[in-house]
């Protein structure tokens, strides 16, 4: 097990952990025995719809509040982490289990959800070429297929009795929530939502009888947290009700008394966790900490994904304000995780898989150019790449070509074959403010911005502190579910800068809705090949060129100056200091224009003659 998360420094801990006191609640429901699961592979049948009656008032019940000890939970995290070119499943416990690999094949496994009995793990996988739901037996290692459709099926959530799973599915060009029986796989799935808006991220109330499902929908104009009442089909209640924020990833506390979710402020771009008390539904949700994907460990502890510009952390804290899990650096991007207790002895049947060493995405060149001094590098020409100067630093060329090939395989088209810029010589000035851009080092490239206008590329704004970053998504050529996955986030729209004064001041605004179709996350894959995104300039809102939304950099731990010295001598980077020569003081000029001082002349007085 070569990837073992490690606690970060005190500085990182101070930077990433912001805590808020929240109330504690009661015990979790009793697990359901494994015997309730009957698993067979059955083709999907036609999907019936649910009749929508008139809306009725929403009321939720919860178990009485009890005292919970402050000790940290002893359960296990099940995570989907990117490793190389694919997402794999892992198990991890801060107290007892190092990061242990559960899957290691050449396909993606995402959004794991631990069943209420603790022995079955539901997840989405593209192992058959399309996204379907599967169940992993943690005790025996067997995998059972739950859905068999060409559509995207993901984000499973168990009913509290373990008999059903709610999930999101991309059907007829839209994301909707479906319910499928686990105990009777031959039963056709039920379609819970049928709104033209995107409905995603279902979270089934874990409290028996479990008659409410929380989910995200932009039916109100922007993503909000909604709750569906299964006792009254079609009764959907907006519980976040905050048009100024963008919500994502709802999660119930084990006793069903609280609902956590992530909220992003479109103006600042910052994302935080909020907790809503279901026993007091009219009270607005309260800020609970930093993170963007909350899950409950118990009624008193919340864990969350904690993203950084080019890293991902796992953290946890109690509602009483104590840190239960210091930020743990993960080896890759996290795409879904779950938590709970299990009787399975891990790694157990996954012992062989846990020891697999995945192949590195690419092999860097080991044949340096001749006649190049030690510590220096030359430029190599990129084959079949269109750019003003289709060259890169030789130390970045192999990684770029490997990334380019994988992107083409994942999207169905050569997105990196036509660039805005690759290497830029010092004799070619860039836009103002970009004098120390990484394009000069030969370790960066910028995608063609025309792709945004043509709807073949979209960017999502992500803010960390005072810095703004962008996540790049590419539209896939195949739209049948075999490439990419549907959008669940709202991209940024730069074009509104020219149509609205407020949008101009903010550098654009969020799109009106979640775009349809299948998309591929280029930023996440590029990070596995060493390519990182850079922050936008501080004036990006009024300076389009300063957004840096289409640039990726291959730093290899170097700063900009060190990277420049691989191509240029130090003299090139010396900025000449302007020296003003001394001015000679002129000799004083006589004041010739002044008239001489007049001299008094005596005049003879006349004398009188007697």
Residue 185 has pLDDT above 60, yes or no: yes
E runs forming strands in 322-410 = 323-329, 334-340, 379-381, 391-393
Residue 74 is predicted with a pLDDT of: 81
Residue 73 is predicted with a pLDDT of: 72
Residue 608 has pLDDT above 60, yes or no: no
pLDDT in tens, 303-345: 999 999 999 999 887 776 677 788 999 999 999 999 999 999 9
132 neighbors 124 (Cβ within 8 angstroms): yes
Residue 589 is predicted with a pLDDT of: 55
Name the burial class of residue 57, with classes exposed (0-12), middle (13-18) and buried (19+) by CB atoms within 10 angstroms of its CB. exposed
In a 3-state reduction of DSSP, which class is residue 185?
coil
Average pLDDT, stretch 156-184? 96
Rounded CA gap, 99 and 4, in Å? 5
Roughly how many angstroms between the first and final C-alpha of the chain, as a whole number? 145
Rounded CA gap, 337 and 332, in Å? 13
Residue 6 is predicted with a pLDDT of: 43
Structure token digits, residue 321? 């304000």
Average pLDDT, stretch 9-14? 40
Rounded CA gap, 521 and 536, in Å? 19
Kindly indicate the confidence band of residue 51, based on its pLDDT and cuts at 50, 70 and 90.
very low
Residue 450 is predicted with a pLDDT of: 95
- Nearest Cα neighbor of 191 from 53, 49, 45, 52 is 49
- Nearest Cα neighbor of 524 from 482, 450, 478, 474 is 474
Residue 161 has pLDDT above 80, yes or no: yes
Rounded CA gap, 92 and 102, in Å? 10
What is the chain's mean pLDDT, rounded?
A: 84
Domain map (residue ranges) of the chain: 6-42+76-194+291-354, 379-573
Residue 4 has pLDDT above 60, yes or no: no
Kindly indicate the confidence band of residue 372, based on its pLDDT and cuts at 50, 70 and 90.
low
Residue 360 has pLDDT above 80, yes or no: no
Kindly indicate the confidence band of residue 573, based on its pLDDT and cuts at 50, 70 and 90.
confident
Average pLDDT, stretch 44-48? 37
Kindly indicate the confidence band of residue 201, based on its pLDDT and cuts at 50, 70 and 90.
very high
Residue 33 has pLDDT above 90, yes or no: no
Share of the chain above pLDDT 70, in %: 80
Average pLDDT, stretch 561-573? 92
Average pLDDT, stretch 15-43? 34
pLDDT in tens, 457-497: 999 999 998 899 999 999 999 999 999 999 999 999 999 98
Residue 592 is predicted with a pLDDT of: 52
Torsion angles phi and psi, residue 560, rounded to 5: -60, -45
Residue 599 is predicted with a pLDDT of: 57
Kindly indicate the confidence band of residue 181, based on its pLDDT and cuts at 50, 70 and 90.
very high
Share of the chain above pLDDT 90, in %: 67
Residue 148 is predicted with a pLDDT of: 94
Residue 53 is predicted with a pLDDT of: 33
Query: Which of the residue ranges 57-66, 270-279, 378-387 has the most confident prediction, judged by mean pLDDT?
Result: 378-387
CATH of 6-42+76-194+291-354, one of 3.40.50, 2.120.10, 2.170.240, 1.20.58: 2.120.10
pLDDT in tens, 12-23: 443 444 333 333
Rounded CA gap, 382 and 392, in Å? 7
Residue 374 has pLDDT above 70, yes or no: no
Beta-bridge mates of residue 287: 274
Average pLDDT, stretch 567-591? 69
Residue 587 is predicted with a pLDDT of: 58
Residue 288 is predicted with a pLDDT of: 86
Kindly indicate the confidence band of residue 498, based on its pLDDT and cuts at 50, 70 and 90.
confident
Average pLDDT, stretch 593-609? 55
Residue 235 has pLDDT above 70, yes or no: yes
Residue 325 is predicted with a pLDDT of: 82
Residue 132 is predicted with a pLDDT of: 97
**Top-confidence residue, 445 or 365:** 445
Residue 391 has pLDDT above 80, yes or no: yes
Residue 138 has pLDDT above 50, yes or no: yes
pLDDT in tens, 524-547: 999 999 999 999 999 999 999 999
Q: Which of 42-46, 143-147, 171-175, 390-394 has the lowest mean pLDDT?
A: 42-46
């Amino acid at each position: 097990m070569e990837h073992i998360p490690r606690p970060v420094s005190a500085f990182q801990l101070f930077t990433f952990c912001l805590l808020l006191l929240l109330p504690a609640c009661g015990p979790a429901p009793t697990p359901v025995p494994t015997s309730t699961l009957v698993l067979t592979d059955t083709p999907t049948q036609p999907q019936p719809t649910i009749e929508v009656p008139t809306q009725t008032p929403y009321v939720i019940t919860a178990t009485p509040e009890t005292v919970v000890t402050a000790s940290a939970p002893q359960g296990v995290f099940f995570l989907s982490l990117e490793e190389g070119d694919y997402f794999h499943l892992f198990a991890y416990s801060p107290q007892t289990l190092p990061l242990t690999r559960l899957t290691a094949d050449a396909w993606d496994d995402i959004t794991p959800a631990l069943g209420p009995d603790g022995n079955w793990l539901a997840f989405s996988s593209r192992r058959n070429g399309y996204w379907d739901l599967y169940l992993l037996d943690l005790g025996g290692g067997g995998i059972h297929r739950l859905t068999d459709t060409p559509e995207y099926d993901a984000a499973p959530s168990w009913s509290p009795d373990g008999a059903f799973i709610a999930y999101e599915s991309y059907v007829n060009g839209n994301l909707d929530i479906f319910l499928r029986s686990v105990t009777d796989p031959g039963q056709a799935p039920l379609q819970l939502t049928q709104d033209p808006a995107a409905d995603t991220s279902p979270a089934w109330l874990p409290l028996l009888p479990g008659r409410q499902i929380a989910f995200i929908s932009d039916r109100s104009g922007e993503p909000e947290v909604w709750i569906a009442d299964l006792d009254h089909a079609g009764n959907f209640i907006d519980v976040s009700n905050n048009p100024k924020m963008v919500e994502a990833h709802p999660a119930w506390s084990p006793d069903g008394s609280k609902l956590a979710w992530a909220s992003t402020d479109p103006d600042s771009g910052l994302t935080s966790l909020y907790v809503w008390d279901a026993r007091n539904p009219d009270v607005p949700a309260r800020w609970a900490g930093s993170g963007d994907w909350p899950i409950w460990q118990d009624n008193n502890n919340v864990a969350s994904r904690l993203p950084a510009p080019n890293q991902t952390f796992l953290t946890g804290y109690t509602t009483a304000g104590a840190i239960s899990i210091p930020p743990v650096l993960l080896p890759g991007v996290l795409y879904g995780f779950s938590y709970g207790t299990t009787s399975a002895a891990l790694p157990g049947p996954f012992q062989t898989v846990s020891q697999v060493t995945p192949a590195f995405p690419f092999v860097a060149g080991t044949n340096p150019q001749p006649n190049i001094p030690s510590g220096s590098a030359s430029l190599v020409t990129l084959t079949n790449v269109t750019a003003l100067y289709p060259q890169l630093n030789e130390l970045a060329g192999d990684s770029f070509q490997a990334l380019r090939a994988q992107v083409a395989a994942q999207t169905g088209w050569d997105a990196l074959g036509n660039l805005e810029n690759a290497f830029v010589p010092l004799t070619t000035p860039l836009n103002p403010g970009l004098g120390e851009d990484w394009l000069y080092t030969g370790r960066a490239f910028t995608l063609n911005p025309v792709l945004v206008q043509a709807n073949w590329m979209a960017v999502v704004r992500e803010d960390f502190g005072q810095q703004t970053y962008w996540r790049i998504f590419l539209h896939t050529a195949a739209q049948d579910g075999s490439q990419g996955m549907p959008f669940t986030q709202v991209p940024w729209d730069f074009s509104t800068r020219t149509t609205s004064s407020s949008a101009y001041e903010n550098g654009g605004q969020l799109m009106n809705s979640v775009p349809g179709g299948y998309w591929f996350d280029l930023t996440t894959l590029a990070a596995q090949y060493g390519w990182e995104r850079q922050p936008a300039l501080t004036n990006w809102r009024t300076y389009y060129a300063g957004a840096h939304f289409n640039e990726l950099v291959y730093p290899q731990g170097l700063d900009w100056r060190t990277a420049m010295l691989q191509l240029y001598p130090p003299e090139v980077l010396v900025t000449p200091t302007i020296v003003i020569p001394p001015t000679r003081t002129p000799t004083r000029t006589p004041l010739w224009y002044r008239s001489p001082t007049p001299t008094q002349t005596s005049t003879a007085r006349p004398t009188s003659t007697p």
